[in-house]
Every structure is written in structure tokens, then in C-alpha cells.
Amino acid sequence: MQTVEDFLRRKFWGWGYQAGPLDDTLTDTFVDFLRTTTGMEASPPLALPDRESIPLPDPRFPLPSAWENWITSDKEIRLHHCFGKSYRDSWRCAHGQFDNPPDYVAFPNDEEQLSELMVFARNNRISLIPYGGGSSVVGGIEPPKRTSSGGVITVNMLHFNKVLEVDTQSRCARIQAGTYGPDLEQQLKPHGLTLRHFPQSFEFSTLGGWIATRAGGHFATQYTHIDDFVESVRVVTPRGVIQTRRLPGSGAGPSEERLFLGSEGTLGIITEAWVRLQSAPEYKASATVGFKAFEHGVEACRQLSQSGLHPTNARFIGRGEALFMGLGDGNLDILILGCESSTFPVTQKLKDCLSIATACGGINLSEPAASGIDNQRDDKADTWKQAFITVPYLRDELVRRGLIVETFETAITWDKFEHFNARILAAAEHAIERLCGKGFVTCRFTHLYPDGPAPYYTVMAQGNGTDDLQRWDEIKRAVSDVIINEGGTITHHHAVGKDHREHYLRQASPLFISMLENAKTSVDPEQILNPGVLLKSPESRTN
């Protein structure tokens, strides 16, 4: 189970452990590949931030001395809690801009300590930032600006790390919110059960973070969002504890736990949840299909999503991204198909999925055996999986070498997709060309619903090491405006945080936002919880 020592083995300036899976050769190869394919030039890497030479401002207020064994102002720990893991975060780390740390970091051991912290924060107007794994990519755990807050304590939920109860009859478990993905699965394994919620950030994110952000796992159809698995939640708020009832379903008014799904630390600190589990899959099979025309792949995805076959994986990757992921030569859009089951062989199901894909113009690129035998994996699915793990490490290295690398994501109904996608790509390409000269944007689908896909875009562009954040902000604004104006959502699974707040407030109806602000005021009257995330801080609401 993750300890504070494990936590400190991670980089304070980027993704993952200090001893990650990347070596410089891999980065150099990728940089060479980028140069030859796109003309983008990397600079020599910036030196890694040196913890000793980074100045940190002193804490602005004293704490009760009895708390010293669970709250700290230790420099290294505060450095780890300055940023999440977006491009903006990675860039500021690479450039040593650690000027806005929390004053303290708390590691509460139980709900009593959490409640004490809330009383202290209410009495002293201190902001509290709930913190799971810190993998937010939307400014969700970044302290408010020092000028706009009296003081900040980041609340790291690391010690809430246990599976407390397993109800094998109903196939559910009561799990503490600070439990990291691998620890959660390890504790469920002896029961033969799994949550099967695998976001790309699985290794470094927690159940509480997933619930607070409505995270999406990597399975492409059916159970995708953590929402589907949450049976009930327990939340400590500044006004007391809310425990929702365990029910398989209920029609009794608006759902209580739904209000906390996606609340992003603004309504309370989730301490535990009952979640629905599944049996581990016994049967697996995967295959890869190539498309000469992007729109044929889109049509295959639409038909698959409405077929009732529910492939576990149906990852459609545009040819540009496929090329960079090592999947082919850039002439085909790639669809990776996978079927899994704990009870039934899936060979026939995969064949049926393949029939749909090939009838839409797809070319089956798998060895014949891969589409015919249970538990046979297609090697392209493995290439994809490996890239999925390595890419976040690579991103930090590319940022240190002066390149702009970031993703954005959304969802839209099938009827609008073609126009929507074209408008997004045009806006991104135009902004990249105007601001950076060289660069590109690629598209893939992360999730398929019967009524529409969740497209995910990756931008890589030439940086100059000086005003890259402003240039990225302009690119991001251009695409976000299109997303909102064309009827999409500002986020399908990355959450709102501070970065998407402006567009979220344009997406949601004003009356709903007013209801949400009132809900916040009733549980958090002094507005101590994560100010500026999701909703505007009270002082700026009239602007």
C-alpha cells in the first residue's frame, strides 16, 4: 500500500516514479522521428528542477502543535503538492516556477482528524484542497493564488487506503477513498473480484479522485465512467457527515451520491464508497482492423456501439496518432477490438465485431488465429498498451526539450460528429500554424456510446521556451470555444477543475449553476473547500 515514502519516490516535477520506464535513447529516437516526420525541432533538455535551490515561501499561519505528526510544512512534501499533471504543470515545473505551494500538507488518519481540520479551516478562513493521487490535468489540486487566499492546507488522503468490507453476495466492496488503483485491485484479488476501472492514470490515482472527477476507465463500451460502479458514498463536509444508502437502484428523488460524483472536492471530502465489483475475466480475445477512410472507421464504431455486442475495447485511433504510437505506417486509421468475459468464451463475439468492422470497409490486420482463439492477444493491442503506459513519461521529457504536448477531450452525438470533428481539427490546426508554425493534432475515440463517441485529441507543437503557456492557452481556448459552440462537452472525463471552469459555466445552464452554488453554501458556508475549482470563488461570482 502506498506510504508517504512511496509518494516521495515519485517526481515532484512530473509524472510517475523518478526511476520510470523511459531512458534517454527512447526520447531521442522519438525526437528524431518527430523531426523527420513534422520538422519540429527539440532543444537541449532543461536541467531537472533542483529541490535544494527552489525557494518556497514560509507558511502564513501557525497550526495547533498537537497536529505535528500528521500535518507538515516540509519543503519536499510541499513541492510535491504544487501542481497536477497537465502540460501547464509540467512546463512550470520544468521552468522551476514553484512560487505558489500550499502552506501545509495534511495526512489525516481518520474522519475525526478531517473534521478537526474543517473546524480549524472554518474558524481561520483557510482553504482546504482534497488530494487523491494528484493526477489532475485541469488545475484541480493547485492552490488558489496567494493573493486571493489567507492560507492553504492540501489534504492528502493517502492513509485512507483500505478495502474495509467485501459483500461477495451482492458483489460490492466498501473501500476507503485514498486507495490507489493497484492497491485496490490487490486487496480485492483474494476475493476473486475486481473493480475493473482502469484509467490511464490508474497507478497514480485514487478511488476518491475518480469519484470526485467522474473518471473514465479504458474500456470502450458499457461500464466506462466510475459513476456506473458507485453504490453509495460517505463524505465529510464542513457541516457534518453525509452517508448515502446502499441500494442497487432507487427512484427516490435526485440521487444523493450523484451530487458528489464530479464535485471535485468542492462539497466535501469523500472518505469511502461502496462500489460494485465484477468477476475477473477468464476469456479474452483481441484483433486489429485498419481503415483507408476515417469516416468508414467512424461508421464501424457507430454500428458496433449500437450492436448490443459491447466489445470491451473498441479503440479507434486516427492514422496520425497510430503512426506515433508505433501502430502502422500512417496510411490506415486503426481500430483495436477486444472482447472479455468471466463466464463465456468470446471468440464468436469478436468475430461478430469483426464482421461489422469489415462490412464498413475495415481490413482485418490480425493474424487469423487472433480473431479465432480465446485468450489470444493481438500484438498491436500490446503495442498500444505499452505506449499507453510510457507516453506520460515521454511527455515530461518532450516539455523539457521545449515542445508543446497536451491533450483535450469531449463527447458528442453521432449526428453531429463529422462536422464537430472537422471544426475542432480546423481550429486546432489554424491556431497551431498561427502561433507555433509547426505542429499537428490527432484524434482517437476513448469511449463509444450508442448515441455518440468521446473523441480525444493530442496536440504537439513547436515551442520556444518562453511564452509557450500563453500559446497553449490560445490553442486550447480556440478548441474549447468550438466544443461549446458546436454542442459538445468541455470534458468527457478529465473533469472541470480551474482550467475548464469558464467553459463549464458556459455549458451548464445558469439556473443549475445557481442551484449548485447554493448546495455548496449549505455544506460549506465559509467556502473553504477547493475555491475556484468547478465554480467561481464567491468574491468573483458577480463578475
Residues that bind ligand FAD (CB under 6 A): 15, 84-85, 129-137, 140-141, 157, 177, 199-201, 205-206, 208-210, 212-213, 215-216, 218, 264-265, 269-270, 392, 493-495, 530, 533
Q: Which residue, judged by CB position, is nearest to ligand FAD in the bound state?
A: 209
Nearest CB to ligand FAD, comparing residues 15 and 104:
15
To ligand FAD, the closest distance from the beta carbon of 453 in angstroms equals 15
Residue-wise burial string across 409-438, b where 16 or more C-beta atoms lie within 10 A, e elsewhere: bbbbebeebeebbebbbebbbebbeebbeb
Which residues have CB under 8 Å from 65's CB, separation 6+? none
Distance set, CA 465 to CA 44, 81, 178, 468 (Å): 11, 24, 36, 6
To ligand FAD, the closest distance from the beta carbon of 223 in angstroms equals 13
**Considering only CA atoms, which of 494, 503, 462 is closest in space to residue 84?**
494
To ligand FAD, the closest distance from the beta carbon of 49 in angstroms equals 18
119 in Cβ contact with 94 (< 8 Å): no
Residue 148: other Cβ atoms inside 10 A: 13
For residue 6, give the amino acid letter.
D
CA angle 407, 298, 449 (to 5 degrees): 75
To ligand FAD, the closest distance from the beta carbon of 177 in angstroms equals 4
401 in Cβ contact with 29 (< 8 Å): no
Instruction: Give first-to-last CA distance, the chain, whole Å.
Output: 45
Grid coordinates belonging to 63: 497550526
Helix (H) or strand (E) holding 458: strand 452-462
To ligand FAD, the closest distance from the beta carbon of 334 in angstroms equals 19
CB neighbour class for 307 (10 Å; exposed up to 12, middle 13-18, buried from 19): middle
Nearest CB to ligand FAD, comparing residues 80 and 494:
494
Nearest CB to ligand FAD, comparing residues 143 and 199:
199
To ligand FAD, the closest distance from the beta carbon of 328 in angstroms equals 23
Nearest CB to ligand FAD, comparing residues 265 and 290:
265
Nearest CB to ligand FAD, comparing residues 257 and 264:
264
Nearest CB to ligand FAD, comparing residues 14 and 311:
14
Nearest CB to ligand FAD, comparing residues 220 and 269:
269
To ligand FAD, the closest distance from the beta carbon of 21 in angstroms equals 13
To ligand FAD, the closest distance from the beta carbon of 500 in angstroms equals 12
CB neighbour class for 376 (10 Å; exposed up to 12, middle 13-18, buried from 19): middle
CB neighbour class for 511 (10 Å; exposed up to 12, middle 13-18, buried from 19): exposed
CA angle 32, 200, 327 (to 5 degrees): 45
Nearest CB to ligand FAD, comparing residues 265 and 328:
265
Nearest CB to ligand FAD, comparing residues 209 and 362:
209
To ligand FAD, the closest distance from the beta carbon of 52 in angstroms equals 26
